[in-house]
Each structure stands twice: as structure tokens, then as C-alpha cells.
Structure 1
């Protein structure tokens, strides 16, 4: 069982919140045992009021010691205007406790203001893109539906949390179980993390068997914390041997060859578009060391990452 908390800041969007909560409720409903223990928190008082006036019964975050497996900040309205030293201190305490942190809709703005998104890839609702132009810092904002970077889980608002929760449940309990949840909500098409700013996986690879597509979606959402081949196969609903065969037949590469290509492509993009040190880029793309990353990068692109960084400008 995973303990997941949602900190609802007044003015949060009801749709975004429900899109995050309902898949977890359904996962508990479809399981013999409780899969997710949910705690709802607010900035103060015993209820949090949404943008349409609906409320959730909550506990004040000040009364709760921040010790969860995952904590989401859900914010709408104008999160950049929120100034609450007690909230910042509490979120930093959660981070110190090893709690994974997430932002839904404008929640990433709050995390950024608390200094908790440094050297992390993340996304936010498009309405809040401009907030990051006015805040000091070198932000790794990606215009994607959701981004999971190690211990940071962020997504746009609206129905985007449905897709992020699908990725989380698929990682925890397999794509077959996650698919049951999606069917329950008549979510006929589960969008991957890259949507909508990049071409879909179907556009990149063509028509693929369901298990291969599921494995690719898992790869895309686990860049910094790569899964091993057996985990990919198990979560995709096949044996390792079956997945390997289908991958070669449909992509011309092995499972782990394609996974490494995806991670290196992410690293190359970070080298070309940011000033993050190469050692940190290696960590962000799931490599054990800068040397390991550099060796793999050189073999793939016939150029050292340090040389590419020099071509792009001073680090």
C-alpha cells in the first residue's frame, strides 16, 4: 500500500483533482487489499474550496507530519501569488523526509517557489507557463502532458492527471490492471507523457502490438529511474522472451537497446538546451555515472557529450 496525500490549495480545479483521485479509488475498488491510502489536506481549516465552490473535507497541513510516499500539490488560480512561509517550510520538510513530490495544474509553481524543482524536469498547465518567465532560475519546463523525473511527478490540469495516474498504476501493478482502471472511466485512449507536444508513439513507430506500446510508454515515463527488462515485460503482460521477440520484430532493436536510445535522446536534448552539468544529466537519464553516460553517448552519436556541450556554448 502506498500513502498518497493531496494538498488542495483554495481555487484548485475540481476536474483536475477528481481526475487524480478517481483512478486511485478505482484501484482500491478492484483490489482485494487497499492499494492506495489517500489523505486530503488543505491550507487551513477542515475543508478546501474548489474553483466552482465544491469542497472536500480535509485536514490542515500544519497538523500533519509530512511523511507520505507521494505528496501532490494541487493549485489553480494564481499560484505564483501565494506566499506562505509555513507552507514552504512544510514542503521542504517533506522533501527532507524522502517524500516524492508532485504538482497538478499549477502545483509545480508552488514547488518551484519552494526551491523543490531545481534540476528536475517538470511540466505545468499551459496557463502557468509565463509564471516561470518571471521567476529566477534555470527551469527545465517541458510542454508535455505529464513528466515523471525520479521523485517529482507533475502534470497539466484538466484530464491530464488521468494519464499520469495510469502511468503510476501501470508501474505499481502492471499495464493490465491499469487498463482496467482506464476502461472503468471510458478512457478509450491513454495518452503518453509526450502528448501533445510531440508526435504520438504511433506516429513515431507505426502500428505496434499492445504489449510493445505498453513497454514504450513505461520507458517514456521512467527515464531517470529505468526499469529492467523483466520489470518491463511483467508490467506489459508478457514474458521477457515474448516481449524481446515482439520488440525485434516491430522495431528492429532489442528492448534495452531502444530503452537506452530513448534515455540518450533525452540526455542529448538536455545538453543542447540547458546548462546542467553533465554529471547531473547522467543521473537524470538513469545512468550510474557520468563516465557510463559519456561512453554510451559517444557510441550512439559518435561525439562526446562534453564536445557537444562546447559546440552549444559554455556550460
Structure 2
């Protein structure tokens, strides 16, 4: 790629900023690489070394990402300065990497007043360390249910990223780019952030007001406003399911019309679709938390454990107890 003819004029070039990336075992490569690339390109586009970065992790040495690539770390968990920004990079089995040593280190460095963030599932590590108490935060949509159950004191959102004071979090994947572009704009102005986005061929920059998941019509492949409304209501009422009659009334339809709508577009009844949503959440909670099977059942709208087990077996061909026993890992992306 040819060098730019002219560097982008930037604001506030009085000092370099250092990012310290804490790579947890099996971290998600995309989330980490997207963040580093944004910093590298910012340096290139400005013609200055605005940013430096350091790779660290418990024990130093090396660490594998979830794609199997081995990364050499610069050092063990270091002592930092107030001007540093810590970004913990999580991924599969983040709870394994969230050790007592890591949490104590995060708490110690946070007391210095520096900015601490979590990429992908690393919001879990920050929450375990108590750094997100009373803060807004986000995590990958697949892990939202379990996170919400475990960390009630965190104000969990569905945003692609969140910057709440000196606490940062992203939902994983390309959301690291959105967070870094915001930081670049805050540090050095919109011109640099836009130039970096252009180099990344990133034409739709998202803000913290954008949500992670595709819209309901896009996800189900059907653009019918009332069907989308009903599914949205269902997703918002998993713990206390709403009857098909009330769902139909909420969107100005008869129960029979609602039934026909679901049969036509989704080849199943509203009751069956609702059950699948509840069972999907139940499976996430079984695989990603230590909640008892009874509490999982209650969280998903089942008042009877035996009924929950019967429905679960019919859908997944195994019991909730066997599912829990065969789980591969919690908080996996």
C-alpha cells in the first residue's frame, strides 16, 4: 500500500499514549487485531508516533489466541502509570484466565485512576474484579444472559461498545474498531479518526448508541412489522412469558391471525417459537453459568423443573443435567 502523500493534521500531539494489551488464554484474535491496527494506522496517517503498545499477560512468556496463533508477550503484568490505558482481551473460557492474580492486578492499577477496558468477553474479568460495579458495560450478545445473571450490579447494555468514564467495554468482533475510532477522535480529532476508518475500509462507523445484533426482520429473514413486534416482545419477556392471546392483542391482531402469521413465515406456532427462545436462553445459562438447573428453569419461565426437563429433552435430545455435565466452557465466543 503506498504511503499517504500528506499526513493528517492532528490535535493534541503533546504526548504519546500507551496501550497495554492483556492477552488472556484463548483470546479472540479479531478483537485484539482490530484495536492494534487502528493505533498503527493512526500513527501512519499522522506521520507521528501518537501511540505505543505493549503485550502482557500473567507470567509473561507466550499465549495462544482462540485461532491457535502463538503470541510472544513483552512482559508479565507490569506496574503502570496513570496515563496508560489497559485493554484486557478475552475470548473462549475467559473465566479460566480470570485468575486471582489478574483481578488483584486490575484492582491495583485501577486505583491509580487509569482507564481500563475489556474487549470481547473480557468484560467478565473486569466485572469479577469489581471494576464495573455501577457502570454501564457491554459484552457479546451470546453471553449477555449469563453475565446479567452473575453481575446484577453492572448496568449491562446491548451496545457495540460502551465508554463509561474510565471504563471501556466492547461486544467483540469488529466493535473494537468502533471503540478505537471514538478514542482517536477524542484524543486527536475527527479528521484522524475518519482517515483511519477510510484506511480500514470501514464505511459504517458505529457509536455507543448502536446495538450489536441484527434487527429481528433481518435475523429471521422476514420483513413483516407485526411479526417483528411480537418476537421483540417475546425476547423481552423470557422469565415471565406472555400468552399468545395477549401478544396478539398487543399488536392489534386476533389470536388466529397471529397463529397464521407464524405458520406462514416461520413454519411453527407462536407458542412453539416462544418455547424455542426460552430453551435457547436456558441452554446458554446452563453452559455459561454455575446457576442450578432449578434457577435456570425459573429464569426461563418454567415453574416446574420436571416440565423444563421434558421440554429441554424434546428439543435438544438430552437433559439439562447432562448438558451441564458435558459443557465445554463458559463465556465462549
Whether the aligned pair in 2 keeps the contact of 1:80 and 1:131 (CA below 8 Å) is no
Whether the aligned pair in 2 keeps the contact of 1:41 and 1:58 (CA below 8 Å) is yes
Instruction: Quote the residue 2:140 is aligned against.
Output: 125
The structural deviation recorded for 1:42 is 1.8
After superposition, residues 223-242 of structure 1 pair within 5 angstroms as none
Q: Does 1:4 align with 2:22?
A: no
Structure 2 CA distance for aligned equivalents of residues 52 and 83 of structure 1: 20
Whether the aligned pair in 2 keeps the contact of 1:132 and 1:139 (CA below 8 Å) is no
SS at match of 2:46: coil
Whether the aligned pair in 2 keeps the contact of 1:6 and 1:74 (CA below 8 Å) is yes
After superposition, residues 16-27 of structure 1 pair within 5 angstroms as 16-27=31-42
The structural deviation recorded for 1:133 is 3.4
The structural deviation recorded for 1:199 is 11
Which of 97, 102, 116 is 1:87 aligned to? 102
The structural deviation recorded for 1:198 is 9.9
After superposition, residues 1-315 of structure 1 pair within 5 angstroms as 1-62=16-77, 64-67=78-81, 68-196=83-211
Instruction: Quote the residue 1:296 is aligned against.
Output: none
SS at match of 2:168: strand
Instruction: Quote the residue 2:328 is aligned against.
Output: none
**171-180 or 127-136, larger mean C-alpha shift:** 127-136
Query: Mind listing any 5+ residue stretches in structure 1 that lack a counterpart?
Result: 201-315
TM (norm. structure 1) is 0.60
Structure 2 CA distance for aligned equivalents of residues 83 and 29 of structure 1: 34
Whether the aligned pair in 2 keeps the contact of 1:45 and 1:58 (CA below 8 Å) is yes
When residues 28 and 133 of structure 1 are mapped into structure 2, their CA distance, relative to the original with a 3 A threshold, is same
Structure 1 CA distance for aligned equivalents of residues 65 and 87 of structure 2: 16
The structural deviation recorded for 1:142 is 0.5
SS at match of 1:106: helix
Whether the aligned pair in 2 keeps the contact of 1:146 and 1:160 (CA below 8 Å) is yes
Whether the aligned pair in 1 keeps the contact of 2:120 and 2:172 (CA below 8 Å) is yes
When residues 30 and 142 of structure 1 are mapped into structure 2, their CA distance, relative to the original with a 3 A threshold, is same
Give the paired residue count: 199
When residues 199 and 47 of structure 1 are mapped into structure 2, their CA distance, relative to the original with a 3 A threshold, is closer
TM (norm. structure 2) is 0.56
